A and B are shown apart, each in its own frame.
Chain A
Amino acid sequence: MKKFALNIIRSPYFWSLVFLAALFAFNLAFTERFGVVEVKDGRLYGNIIDILRRSVPTMLLGTGMTLVIATGGIDLSVGAIIAVAGAIAALLARGNFHFMIIVLPPLLAAAVAGCWNGFLVAKAGIQPFVATLILMVSGRGVAQLLCGGQIIKFSHPAFEYLSAGYVFGLPFGLYLSAGVLLSVWLLTRRTALGLFIESVGINPVASRHVGISASRIKLLVYVFSGICAGMAGLVLTTEIRGADANNVGLNLELDAVLATVLGGTSMTGGKFYLAGSVVGALIIQTLTTTILARGVARPATLVVKAFVVILISLIQSPSFRAQVLRMGKAGEARA
């Protein structure tokens, strides 16, 4: 137990966790009915459930993004992949097909998109930022092409279950993201895969010398990030029961990167923290909900978000910590 507590305090996302806890404490104290969770028709309702439900897409993207960033990369195309997956799903949902026929092709398309990114990064040797920029720019164009420039609406109860469904009183999306997180955690922490990913991020040449195929690992994480984006796309599309190629998942790639970085994973690659990314995603959503619940105008969310991002990044920055320590010591010396 003591070891566990020490691990948490030493973890790089400790301060993010503290911030999240402070945010919750603030809300419990000052936001009316924040902590209330009600049961209606066997389903749980409340602000906390709402925060969890709304952070599902960011958590899904964050899981994929964490692995990509751990290899020293970045995936800017997830927003565009969301749009493409959503467009395909909406077109199929109109045809009243079976659930699987609606869900599988978008995921396949997302995997192909991820594969394209991975190919450019791992085989063609293009920097990840640029390689994924290509799809980021053109992906939304492809989605608009599929939709014919219109918002495609559909009604398909089985498919809508993804965001409207409840299992044991909790929204289905939560189980989805928890399932993805758990399987990734098992795959990376109970097998050597996680170490491989980290070693590729820390030093690709050295990992090649010890026999890890850096390009295969990179290809894998981009495909996985693509699939995560595809799942997020399905959830977001069912939420509004329509595919809006222009706006769905807009700027979500930024939120996903943000969640990962707030979670203590360094953008230069190396060690990654899945739990940290979950904390990051929760911070982003809790912040938005808090500000809205306090009746502050929506624009202020962005400004507060900016300050929180800088603050948490600063606390996690080694050179900032060193400076604070120096200042503290200088103060002691003077006194």
Chain B
Amino acid sequence: MKLKARHIPILATMLVFILLYAAASFYFPYFFTLRVFVNLFIDNAFLGVVAVGMTFAVLSGGIDLSVGSVVACTGIVMSKLITQYGFNSLAVIAFVLLLGTAFGSVMGFFIACYDLPPFIVTLAGMFFARGASQIISLESIPLKSPLLNRVADFGIPLSDRVDFPFIAIVLVAAVAVGTFIAQCTKFGRNVYAIGGSEQSALMMGLPVRRTKIGIYALSGFFATLGGVIYTLYTFSGYSLSGIGLELDAIASVVIGGTLLSGGVGYLPGTLLGVLIQGVIQTFISFDGTLNSWWTKIIIGALLFVFILLQTWISKARAFRKS
């Protein structure tokens, strides 16, 4: 396969991930074990799933700020329905996924049909979902479901002592499905086309409106799925969880090599972006003397480097064209 300019960001992301992991392993030999590696997938499963949906929004040149609140709302609704009303767990999960997708489609409808800026519409969505979850319950609700206990305990054994658990499997599956949708379907190509130039997409006769509604529906679906994963991870629902999650998701997408102006990027890159943030966090918790604010500063610095790299690449391309 010939190396193309658009592949450079994702290769750079991979290189950074490997370098960071190697450096961390050099500092703490225990870092280079299967368990720590698998833990990266477990601890960031919900972020990764949310970021998959966010990647679609960003690829189309939009943004979805509502994801953090949707995660909280999902947790609250799920725990309330299962623990307090005793509904069937799987039916409740199907219901919240449907609800989240519908919520995303409504936002998509406003964005696509009335040309409202995605930033404002999804901001309203963020207020709405956060408010709704606080109205439902201000206190944390524990999730009590024997069935879900068993689901969460399920795992594919990788070695004698390490399992690849259910939520990590969902993360990998979400990335795989997302990649398939983006690369192998008509819808995916439409998303790239809209991100490249909405005007051109419209003139080519692509269904811009329908695709846009689909994008935010998809983002709502993955945010809700992320919420389900988060609930399975913490086994409770809390109305204040997931604050600022949208930023982490956007950062993952950008570090993963997707241009925020839309049209360029690959989904597996987003997974790498999530894992890079995970490595930094794990390193800081391994160290013990560094404080959490260093995570923010380092992620900010990484963002800066990646964005400079992307700008440089797109400028080089524009230069070659002209």
A interface with B by C-beta (< 8 Å): 74, 124-127, 129-131, 133-142, 144-145, 149, 254, 257-258, 261, 267-268, 297-307, 309-310, 313-314, 317-320, 323
- The residue in chain A whose Cβ has the minimal distance to the Cβ of B116 is A313
CA distance A131 to B114 in the complex (A): 28
Closest Cβ–Cβ distance, residue B69 to chain A (whole Å):
9
**Residue B132 is within 8 A (CB to CB) of chain A in the complex:** yes
Chain B residues with Cβ under 8 A from A323's Cβ? 114
Q: Is B34's beta carbon under 8 Å from chain A? A: no
Contact B300 A258 (CB under 8 A): no
User: Cβ of B251 and Cβ of A137 under 8 Å apart?
Assistant: yes
How many residue pairs, one in A and one in B, have C-beta atoms under 8 Å apart? 134
Least CB distance from B240 to A in Å reads: 11
Residue on B with the closest CB to A130?
B260
Which of B22-30, B38-46, B216-224, B302-310 contacts the other chain?
B302-310
Q: Are A310 and B110 in contact (CB under 8 A)?
A: yes
Question: At the interface, yes or no: B121 with Cβ under 8 Å from chain A?
Answer: yes
Contact B291 A254 (CB under 8 A): no
Q: Tell me how far the C-beta of A79 lies from the nearest C-beta in chain B, rounded to whole angstroms.
A: 11
B297/A145 in contact, CB under 8 A: yes
B173 within 8 A of A: no
Query: 14 additional contacts, CB 8 Å, given A141-B297, A319-B114?
Result: A134-B307, A141-B300, A142-B293, A145-B297, A257-B120, A261-B120, A268-B117, A299-B130, A299-B131, A309-B123, A309-B124, A313-B120, A319-B113, A319-B115
Q: Would you call B293 and A149 a contact (CB within 8 A)?
A: yes
Collect the chain A residues with CB atoms within 8 Å of residue B134's CB. Answer: 297-299, 302
* A310-B110, A313-B116 given; A137·B296 CB < 8 A: yes
Chain B residues bordering chain A, tally (CB within 8 A) = 45
- Contact indicator A302/B120 (Cβ below 8 Å): no
Contact among A127, A139, A298, A307 with B261 in the assembled complex (CB-CB below 8 Å): A127
Q: Which residue of A lies closest to B297 (CB)?
A: A141
Identify the closest chain B residue to A131 (Cβ).
Answer: B307
Q: Does B127 contact A (CB under 8 A)?
A: yes
Residue of A126, A130, A138, A299 touching B296 (CB-CB under 8 A): A138
Q: A141-B295, A314-B114, A319-B114 are in contact. Are A133 and B250 (CB under 8 A)?
A: yes
Q: How far is the CA of A155 from the CA of B299 in the complex (A)?
A: 34
Q: Is the CB of B297 within 8 A of A142?
A: yes
The one of B116, B135, B261, B304 that contacts A317, using a Cβ cutoff of 8 Å: B116
Query: In the complex, how many angstroms separate the beta carbon of B301 from the nearest chain A beta carbon?
Result: 7
* B272-308 to A contact mask, C-beta < 8 Å, 1/0: 0000000000000000000111111101110110011
State A319–B114 Cα separation when bound (angstroms): 5
Find out whether the CB atom of B116 lies under 8 angstroms from the CB atom of A134: no
CB-defined contacts of A130 to chain B, threshold 8 Å: 254, 260, 303, 307
**B242 on the interface (CB 8 Å rule)?**
no
The CA-CA distance from A137 to B304 in the complex, in Å, is 11
Instruction: Given A129-B260, A133-B254, A310-B110, decide whether A138 and B297 contact each other with a Cβ distance below 8 A.
Output: yes
Residues of the B chain whose Cβ atoms lie less than 8 Å from the Cβ of A127:
260-261
Pick the 9 closest A-B CB pairs, nearest first. Answer: A138-B300, A302-B131, A141-B296, A299-B134, A306-B128, A303-B131, A144-B293, A141-B297, A141-B293
Tell me, rounded to whole Å, the shortest Cβ–Cβ distance linking A46 to chain B: 28
B178 part of interface (Cβ distance < 8 Å): no
CB distance from A118 to the nearest CB of B (A): 15
A135 close to B300 (CB less than 8 A): yes
Mind listing 23 A-B residue pairs with CB under 8 Å? Answer: A125-B311, A126-B311, A127-B261, A130-B260, A133-B250, A134-B303, A135-B300, A137-B300, A138-B299, A141-B294, A141-B297, A145-B294, A257-B119, A261-B120, A299-B138, A302-B130, A305-B131, A307-B124, A313-B114, A313-B121, A317-B115, A319-B115, A323-B114
Q: How far is the CB of B213 from chain A (nearest CB, A)?
A: 15
Is the Cβ of B247 less than 8 Å from the Cβ of A136? yes
Instruction: Kindly state the separation between the CA atoms of A223 and B300 in the bound complex, as whole angstroms.
Output: 20
Determine the residue in chain A with the shortest Cβ distance to B107. A310
Which residues from B are CB-within-8-Å of A141?
A: 293-297, 300
| Chain B residue at minimal CB-CB distance from A314 | B114
Is B9 part of the binding interface, using a Cβ–Cβ cutoff of 8 Å?
Answer: no
Q: How far is the CA of A306 from the CA of B121 in the complex (A)?
A: 9
Minimum CB distance partner of A245 in chain B: B293
The answer to whether the Cβ of B315 comes within 8 Å of any Cβ in the partner chain is: yes
When C-beta atoms are compared, the residue in chain A nearest to B123 turns out to be: A254
Instruction: Output the least CB separation between A77 and chain B (Å).
Output: 10
| Residues on B with beta carbons closer than 8 Å to the beta carbon of A125 | 311, 315
B300 and A134 within 8 A (CB): yes
- CB–CB A149/B297 < 8 A: no
Distance from A257 Cβ to chain B, minimum over Cβ atoms (Å): 7
Closest chain-A Cβ to B92's Cβ sits at a distance in Å of: 22
